[in-house]
Structure 1
Amino acid sequence: MLPPLLTLTILLLTTPVTSQACRCTPASPCWPTPQEWTTLNTTLSGNLIATTPLASICHTNSPFSTYSSTSCAALRSTWPLPSTHYTSPSSPMAPWFGTFTCNPFSPPTAPCTLGPLVQNTVNATTVADYITTIRFTQTHNLRLVIHNTGHDYLGKSTGAHALALWTHHLKSIGIIANYTSVGYTGPAIKLGAGVQVIEAMAAAHEEGYVLVAGNCQSVGVADGYSQGGGHGQLASMFGLAADQVLEWEVVTAAGEVVVASPESNPDMYWALSGGGGGVFGAVVSMTSKVHLEVKTVTANLTVSAAGVSPEVFWEVAERFVAGVLDVTDKGGAAIWMVTNQTFEVTPVTVPGGTRGELEGEGFGYTYNIAEFPSFWDTYVEMNPLSNVTEAQIGGRLIPRSTVESNLTAFMGALRAIADYGTAISGVSLNVSRNGVPDNAVNPAWRDSAIDIVLGTTFDYYNRTADLANQKLMTDVLLPMLEELTSDGGAYLNEADIHQPDWQQVFYGDNYARLSAIKQRYDPNEMFYARTGVGSERWTELEDGRLCRVDGV
């Protein structure tokens, strides 16, 4: 009789991939037996983790943890912090994709269930862990998701009854002083799949470089952020994060480790560079361009609506939105937010710029403005810490032509949206100053002046209100912007989960090619993510099962 480990290895290598109508659940005959889970854990050196909801300590009716009012109070106080979730193998930050019955704010007597959370997680620390996990999911027809930090507004990194591949502890960072390829020669950085923005930027800065990375310090760089496009304060100067990528190291659905670059597996490279995370393969590492550090000028601005008429307040916002086009044309970018109470800029940044360039824009309002010897210094000093976004979001890319030719109507739409109590976030940028590389980034990015993200409130105590706010986003708020931007799209990482015609809105004319590449590398569609390429062929039933649309 063969030992269990060898038996599992043979099974993983020889069992054909199933094409059943639905992925298996604990109630299915195909669900792994306790012995099979134990053997898998042994193969993974103990890195298989059964999900325990973080908030199970807040519930008296929980099979996971013992109730503790003190521990629950402490958890409530840290629930908005990203670190509470990205250190967890299974907790998503977007509250809609957590378990509504088992959170710190639901009644202690509410039953604590997994709901939409994954069933088990593999803490992947090696490529072998990737291969083992992918083959195990194929053998047992399990739902597979890829999870890093949980920064995920569309629920791609979680799923009921799923086995999650947790990439968070792949933290390798290496600076390559002279990366050489057919299309690029220069400095680069190689990042493990779990490296977060602040870690990558600190490492690059130590060597005198900067890289395009997100405004939120705790986002994972190589996962959904770069694979989905990835903007930030340096995007006008150098392009989107996806535009920087030189190569990907990825494990395919066949369990093969491949390097995808413009010279090797170019179609996989093209798709991963902007076509969305979690659907083409499991990324192990990413190598991207870095750029020389540069002195930077940055400013923050806050304008209150108190004591002025709405007309004056919105005129301030309009003047900024129009004036900042000149800043983005110089390589700068602006992160701003407006409600019907305040207009905040946090911050506007011009790498290589001067104080005079920002002061000369003629906004006529008091800035907190400073010049810094490096971008790193301004990022640390002027960029506020980003907490969990407890909102239901929707997004729209605003073409430059709309700002230049139809600004009054655009600002009128923002004002009408704000009157619903909606928060409006904008990133003003120009990601095409240095040309347009050949990758899968939504073409709508290339002539966009602003990435707009709308947020309606989320109420942990009122599911009915949350559903109403989701419907408001889809049916009322976003259409106000879509009416003005018929040729626009949306950033696929910051969008409405119920966006109609999402294939065109998120991917543009690239969708057909992306779908073909998906079929080539993942013909049995083991990699599924909500609104990801190919996801229209699947549906999530009320009981959490993931089933083929034509096989329910």
Structure 2
Amino acid sequence: MKTPSLILSILLLRLPALAYNVSHVSHVTLGNSKQRVGANQTRCRCFPGDDCWPRPEEWNELNRTLGGGLIKTIPIASVCHYNSFGIPYNAEACAELRSVWDYPGTHYVTSSSPMAPLFANMSCDPFTAPEAQCVIGSYVQYAVNASTADCFKATLDFAQRHNIRLVVRNTGHDYFGKSTGAGALAIWTHHMKGISIRDYESPTYTGKAMKLGAGVMNSEAQEVAHSHGLIVVGGDCQSVGLAGGYTQGGGHGPLASTFGLSADQVLEWEVITGTGEYVKATPTENEDLYWALSGGGGGTFGIVFSLSVKAYPDVKAAAANLTFSRLGVSSSAFDSALQAFLISLPNVTDSGVSCIWVLTDTSFTLSPASAPNMSSEELQALLNPTLESLSENGILYNYSIQGSPSYLESYKTMHPIYNITEANIGGRLIPRSLVSSNSSIRSLIDAMKFIVENGGEVSGVAVNVTRLPDVPNSVHPAWRSTLFSAVVATPYDPLDFEANVAGQGKITTMFIPKLVELTPDGAAYLNEADPNQPDFQQVFYGPNYERLLAIKHKYDPKGLLYGPTSVGSEVWQIEPDGRLCHTS
């Protein structure tokens, strides 16, 4: 993966100095609208330009309290625009930034840049013209480079005293805009990298465990686990933050069919609550908070300081990739092969295999099927029904399979390097019952064909997480009967924001309703779904919502922690200028 060295030398290395040079913001532009000044401060969070906005000396005092850890946002695309934040236009640096814009490492090393471009709102975009706007806009105004519980508490206290919107940011992986926000102050946990292996003993678990700081990424955790002859459940993406929204929202991945969701692995959380109190949450201590954090969504019940999860002995693993094209193939032949794959999924996932696949209007790709503790011959036998259907229908395909002596080696060899999602997305959990009969599977295929034939794509993560965890958690109960989590996408246009709004609207009004017809009382994975999902409380959280809301009120009684579609978010709304206000 290419490193944006020139950009980092121009921008990122300047941030510590800029953190000490805090200037007052007179107004912020979001899109083409100017913010209001003197808004109803009892209803809205204070916004840059309002009389209530902290004075420069107050920001500087916070910076001193934090030991220099306050960072004023300088959008990383400033080099692509004229007269932006005192940074001169630099065509060479801008071209390099564009070349690495879809790499996660471009964003997670910053304290402000989200990986879902829709929520950056083209505030300062590298692909727009040099004379186009470059403003803070929907980025956070400031971020606190957090490393201690005292940092968390000081930031919470400052946000409460000044009535400022507060967000929690780990790596910036986020399809809902929870880790950014206009006029917001972020607690940035990315540098909290502590990892330790523990011999854990409790009333509910005895065995090896891994303790992870709030900023540990999946790839980092897997490397340490491997060095100790262990594995831990993590995501498909290398750079996802394990202690953040990934595990707090459920967390599927290559090991899910073998061990369960990431939320099923949690032993304890270290948390700073919305009242600034440090607590541990385990199945026997603050057990309500433990239950809520383990599947009820990130950034709303408290700010996670660390996470401890079960660790398992390392195993051999096999993985396979498969691609076949629709081009030159009859619709009936292609559908027959797709049906064979879908029908085989219950047996495949019941055997401990997880599958990631993508369907477009031109092709089908399985990349990969991950089989922990399995030989390539055993995995091959599970995939043979699909391969035989391809041969019977005269469809040419590309296929590779490989066994590895360890899970990490298999992961590195057969998993693609995942970049940020340049797409507008929505999602739905597809139950196992939809492949139990010819009529239901036909309806499922017809719905997916409608999506891809109308400008969308469908991807799936197929897992078996039917086994309930040893300790109850707040994962949506629909997961326990799910065959795969479907994600529907339309392409993101870096030059036309209105086209992206239309693309997201197409997902909401056309594509997801096709899947809702098949699952009328169904659910969606709250980390990979439509940010405009109607009745998100039921779809994302199901029967757990009322209990989750009560726990939210207990541990964050003043509602400091907010994220779109998170528990309790319905009492807030984003105004046209970007500010966050109560609905009443």
TM bucket normalised to smaller: over 0.9
What one-letter code is carried by the residue in structure 1 that aligns with 2:528?
Answer: E
Secondary structure at the counterpart of residue 427 of structure 1: strand
State the distance in 1 between where 2:123 and 2:446 align.
39
Q: CA deviation at 1:61?
A: 4.1
Q: Tell me which moved more, 321-330 or 375-384.
A: 321-330
Equivalences for residues 307-346 of structure 1 within 5 A: 307-346=328-367
Alignment of 1:26-425 (within 5 A): 26-176=48-198, 178-361=199-382, 362-364=385-387, 367-405=399-437, 406-425=440-459
**Is contact 2:218-2:239 (8 Å) kept?**
yes
Question: Per-residue deviation at 1:437?
Answer: 4.0
Q: 1:412 to 1:439 in 2, by over 3 A?
A: same
- Alignment deviations for residues 339-358 of structure 1 (CA, whole Å, 9 cap, x no partner): 01111111111212222322
CA displacement, residues 354-391 of structure 1 (integer Å, 9 cap, x when unaligned): 22322223222553011111111110100000001110
Decide whether the 8 Å contact of 2:430 with 2:519 is kept in 1.
yes
Q: Specify the code of the residue in structure 2 equivalent to 1:76.
A: R
Q: Which moved more, 1:466-475 or 1:243-252?
A: 466-475
Q: Distance in 1 between matches of 2:470 and 2:517?
A: 27
Correspondence for 1:13 = none
Q: Which amino acid aligns with 1:452?
A: A
8 Å CA contact 1:443–1:508 kept in 2: the answer is yes
Q: Does 1:547 align with 2:581?
A: yes
Match status 1:439 vs 2:473: yes
* d(CA) in 1 for partners of 2:405, 2:317: 6
For residues 167 and 92 of structure 2, the distance between their equivalents in structure 1, rounded to whole angstroms, comes to 33
What amino acid maps onto 1:115 in structure 2?
Answer: G
Give distance in 2, aligned partners of 1:45 and 1:540: 32
2:522 pairs with 1:501: no
Task: Give the one of 429, 451, 454 matched to 2:488.
Answer: 454
**1:201, CA displacement in angstroms?**
0.5
Q: Residue 429 of structure 2 aligns to a residue in which SS?
A: strand
How far residue 436 of structure 1 moved from its aligned partner, in angstroms, is 6.7
Query: In structure 2, what residue type is equivalent to 1:502?
Result: F
The reply to whether residue 21 of structure 1 matches residue 43 of structure 2 is yes
Count residues with an aligned counterpart.
532
Q: Which of 503, 517, 526 in structure 1 is aligned with 2:560?
A: 526
Question: Cα distance, 1:221 vs. partner?
Answer: 0.4
SS at match of 2:211: strand
The 3-state SS of whatever aligns with 2:134 is coil
Q: Residue in 1 aligned with 2:549?
A: 515
1:51 is displaced (CA, Å) by: 0.3
State the distance in 2 between where 1:143 and 1:117 align: 12
Report % sequence identity.
51
CA contact 2:283–2:471 (8 Å) conserved in 1: no
Superposed CA deviations along residues 5-35 of structure 1, whole A, max 9, x for unmatched, are xxxxxxxxxxxxx993111112222211111
Query: How far apart in 2 are the matches of 1:101 and 1:532?
Result: 24
Give the Å deviation of 1:99.
Answer: 3.8
Contact 1:168 1:193 in 2 (8 A): yes
Cα separation, 2, equivalents of 1:118 and 1:158: 6
Alignment check: 8 A CA contact 2:434 2:441 kept: yes
Partners of 2:232 and 2:164 lie apart in 1 by 37
Q: Name whichever of 218-227 and 421-430 sits farther off.
A: 421-430
Alignment partners' CA distance in 1, 2:86 and 2:248 = 35
Task: In structure 2, give the amino acid aligned to 1:118.
Answer: V
8 Å CA contact retained: 2:204, 2:470: no
Which residue of 2 is the match for residue 14 of structure 1?
Answer: none
Superposition TM-score, scaled by structure 2 size: 0.89
Maintained 8 Å contact 1:314/1:415: no
2:271/2:278 contact within 8 Å kept: yes
Moved more, 182-191 or 106-115: 106-115
Structure 1: 5+ residue runs without aligned partners? 1-17
Q: Distance in 1 between matches of 2:268 and 2:467?
A: 22
| AA matched with 1:369 | I
For residues 321 and 258 of structure 1, the distance between their equivalents in structure 2, rounded to whole angstroms, comes to 45
Stretches of 4+ moved more than 3 A in 1?
433-437
Summarize the Cα distance change of 1:252–1:145 in structure 2 as closer, same or farther, 3 Å threshold.
same
Using the alignment, how far apart are the partners of 1:307 and 1:343 within structure 2?
14
One-letter identity of the residue aligned with 2:418: S
**Which amino acid in 2 is paired with 1:455?**
A
C-alpha distance in 1 between matches for 2:257 and 2:246? 17
SS in 2 for 1:452: strand
**Preserved CA contact (<8 Å) 1:296 1:378:** yes
Q: CA deviation at 1:277?
A: 0.2
User: TM-score, normalising length from structure 1?
Assistant: 0.95
8 Å CA contact 1:238, 1:434 repeated in 2: no
Q: Which amino acid aligns with 1:40?
A: L
